[in-house]
Structure 1
């Protein structure tokens, strides 16, 4: 009996040696003989591991044997990732690590974006990172410069060495830039030529009876012009005084006098003069309109003058007129312009007394 137990123990030991330590592939369940791979505590044939477990680079398709990078669910050798996948600054070409800026679909280091892509202030030359203004003329500048630098009465550029090559003041509270300076109306000797030019424009649309020798006076101070007119509109540039003499209830004489700010660019001066001459037209014909129709009609004169010019300045002034929100000078003008576009000058002039 004892001999039999010894034999049984030997058989169990041999079975344990033969079968108890045998290892199997985690993937195919096949027996592992010879060399095999261990991954995360599991055993694999080399071929099974390469086919099912091995990580491959999604760029070069080669095995990844060491540390690697992952991006958007794909794996890459570190070298492949840096050379082909990792973002590079579109300005300097170096790798981007951490926070970056995107502009028009391109990526930039923060410093490259600030120093090379952001617009620079045309006044102080510093990058414009916060609130900024882009004016009609294409100039960029920090919004706070508007609080410190005066603007030109004509083109509205900020008067500075950088934008306008400087400028000058008129009566202390008005300013004109050096770009507009060569074309301003500032002396009495210029006035007759401008009056003739505007009257000729009006004659072409059927307004023929305006006085040809109406007095025009230049006024330096906008405050003086406001006091003279009794007008509270801060953007006033011209004013027409009107007096009439009557006898037995009939008008026997009419006197007009036009006052316009000095140092206006010639195109703007003529537009203001045209506006005031249409006030004269209304006085002459005793046409009394409500304020929005009256100022809107007179602004048609300014618009007509600007349309005769092809300069960027006149386009700028027309743009302002079309965007003006003032009930009389803006909305009233657009009402009258709409009417003019539909029926033309001849019918509009006939219709005025009935408005």
Structure 2
């Protein structure tokens, strides 16, 4: 690999600028720092700087290559201990070897005087080089790990979203068909309308299932037919109180979220003439969508369908990084959904 090569995954960054600046700077401070050489003029200092630059370049390039080779061979995080141990051994060995070469090239009368300073200077260059490269490498791997974790999280949420969109609650279809069977003999015209509304519900599901977000108006167009089916089934036992402004309907929610919350309320609460269930849907002062029902839990909880509140929360975080809020008191169960603007959706999505 070239010393001034392009950006490498084994370095974590493009180090050309650091090499071009780092080696001259380090070599410049070594003579006065380790050898006590403080020439009176720059021209007098140039030979000393040149020698320092020569050995600093060898040490920098060699240690850099050692790092790259061991990172290439032991790239996985599980091999970090082995990589670090071998790297330390070889950079110390390489530094000692370069220092020995410098010792041989030094005039015999000066060898004993500068031997210790030479090894200290070489070790300084090595530590400076290794510290910078390891710090940037560690930071780069940490960023990569976080990016991969976020990607995995999004892929997982996207998978959940796809699964949710492909699911149709069999209990809902079963109950709707039972209701249809009961009204056909009593009111054929009403049964025809019921079938039309049932068809509308599934048509809406097919139309919005591939969308990440829909306007609240689109969502309500879907649940209007759904509410009609529930009203036919439960009659006065189930009441809806919906209060929304037109501007609220221009904002966005994840598809089928209202239908799922309504279904969740019916599934977990008693619905009867003596104890009617009331579901309220409105926008609060903070601009969020509130779905609230009076709390009258069944004695025995039904088995979940896998399409509940947690899944809606994950889908909101997938498209906006905003979470819904669940509030339960002794009297009410409330879910607060974020009403998204197009800007908040696009900024998070892109």
TM-score with structure 2 setting the length: 0.29
Higher helix share: 2
More strand by share: 1
Higher relative contact order (CA 8 A, sep 6+): 2
TM value normalised by structure 1: 0.28
Structure having the higher Rg? 1
